[in-house]
Each structure stands twice: as C-alpha cells, then as structure tokens.
Amino acid sequence: MMTLEKSVSLVLFAMQNGEQGDLFVKKAPAANLKAILEAIEILCDTKAKSIEISGVTPGEKIHEALLNSEERTLAQEGKEYFQVPSIVLMEGDLASGLHQETGYCSNSTNMLSTEDLVQILSNNKDIQKII
C-alpha cells in the first residue's frame, strides 16, 4: 500500500541516489483483500452485500515477490529501500531464484490490519473526497 506521495518520493530518491538501471524497492507493509474490504466498509459506513471466497485458482499468486533471493542477497539495504545495482541485474538470469523464504515478498513483511488501513485510507485526500 503506497500513497501517491510515497510513490513520488521513491522515484525522487531513486533519481538522486541511483544509477541508470538500478532497481529500487520500498520496504512497505502488505494488506490482504479481506482487511481492505473491511476498512472500506468502516469508512463508507456500509456492509458488502455478499462476499464469496472461492479459493485459489490455478496460476494465481498468493504473495507478491518484490525481490528474489539473489536480488535480496546482492541488494544494498537502506532504512526505507532496497537498491539492486543494475550490474547485478545484468549479470545473469536472476528469475530462477524466486524463493519466498529468502526474497522480499508480501508474506515476509508486516501485514496491515483493518484498523491500520482505515487510518491510512482516511488520511488520503482522494479517499476523503469519496467518503
């Protein structure tokens, strides 16, 4: 969950601190759809008519992999960002190293609660216009 302001901040940080081709990944919490829906219900003071959880379909991803294990190992880790130098990305096929246990994935970061999401969304100017 990144606000527009945080997204712009990431771009500006990358422009000031990176080299052409470097990969920057912001350290950020994740959220699941159930918590997002509950937060929207709270903010809009309404209840969803019906929700059907159908389970995982073939080929569906449960977690988003932002860095694979090789990228994470070779990344320079800052307070708010991972920076993978472009030379690392060009030196081979890193796609084979998608290991959630050692990479940086949505299941290896903090999960936002419904209350966290209500706070984040209620402070967003665009969301405030809607509610």
| pLDDT of the residue at 103 | 76
| pLDDT of the residue at 116 | 92
- Tell whether the model's pLDDT for residue 24 goes beyond 70: yes
| Through-space distance between the first and last CA atoms of the chain, rounded to whole angstroms | 19
Q: Which of 6-10, 26-30, 50-54, 76-80 has the lowest mean pLDDT?
A: 50-54
| φ and ψ of 27, to 5 deg | -75, 125
- Tell whether the model's pLDDT for residue 19 goes beyond 70: yes
Q: Where are the beta strands (DSSP E) in the chain?
A: 23-26, 65-67, 76-77, 81-84, 104-105
- Domain locations in the chain as residue ranges: 4-32+60-111
| φ and ψ of 37, to 5 deg | -60, -45
Q: 3-class secondary structure for 23-58?
A: EEEECCCECCHHHHHHHHHHHHCCCCCCCCCCCCCC
Closest C-alpha among 70, 108, 64 to residue 90: 70
Q: Which of 8-17, 36-45, 100-109 has the lowest mean pLDDT?
A: 100-109
Helices 33-44, 114-122: inter-axial angle, 10-degree rounding: 50
pLDDT digits 0-9 by tens, 34-61: 899 999 999 988 888 877 778 888 888 8
Across residues 122-128, what is the average pLDDT?
83
Tell me the whole-structure pTM to 2 decimals: 0.67
| % pLDDT > 70, the chain | 88
For 118, how many CA atoms within 13 A lie in the half-sphere containing its CB? 10
